[in-house]
Structure 1
C-alpha cells in the first residue's frame, strides 16, 4: 500500500527548515533528479529564502548529472536510483 503524503505538513516542514537555515545563517544548494526541482521550490516558498538558497540544479537526465560532477562510472555501475549516485550528487557541492 502506498504511503499517503500530507502536502500541508510537508510544506510546513520545509518552512521550518528554511526559517532555521535563515536563523543559523546557513546556506543550501540542491541537486535534484527525480524530484525535478521540487525541493528547491518548497524552500523558496518561504519569505527570506533568497538568503539561504544559493543555487539549485535539476539533473533529470544522466548527462546533466555528469556535467555537475557525478562520475558516469557510478551511474553505469549502480544506476541513478542508488545510494552511490545520490552520494556523488551531494559531494558535487562539497
Structure 2
C-alpha cells in the first residue's frame, strides 16, 4: 500500500487539475454549465474521502502518519505540530 499511495494521490490530483482546466476553457463555472461542475465535484469529493480513509486506516493500525514525500510512517503525537520526517528530512 505504501508504494501505491503516492501514485493514487498523484493521479487524483492530476485528474482534478485537468477537469478544472477544462471547466476554465469552457468559460468558467457559468459558461460550462452543470455538465462540468458535477465531475469536478465528484473528483474533489473522492479525493477528500480518499484522504480521510487513508488517515483513519493508518491511525487504526497504529502505524502513524505517512510522509508526503517518501511514504515513511512516523508516529502521531496529539496536540503537536508534525516535525520533519526521520527518513527524508522533509
- TM superposition score category, shorter chain reference: 0.3 to 0.5
TM-score for the superposition, normalised by structure 1? 0.32
More strand by share: 1
TM-score for the superposition, normalised by structure 2? 0.33
Based on CA coordinates, which of the two structures has the bigger radius of gyration? 2
Q: Which has the higher contact order (CA 8 A, sep 6+)?
A: 1
More helix by share: 2
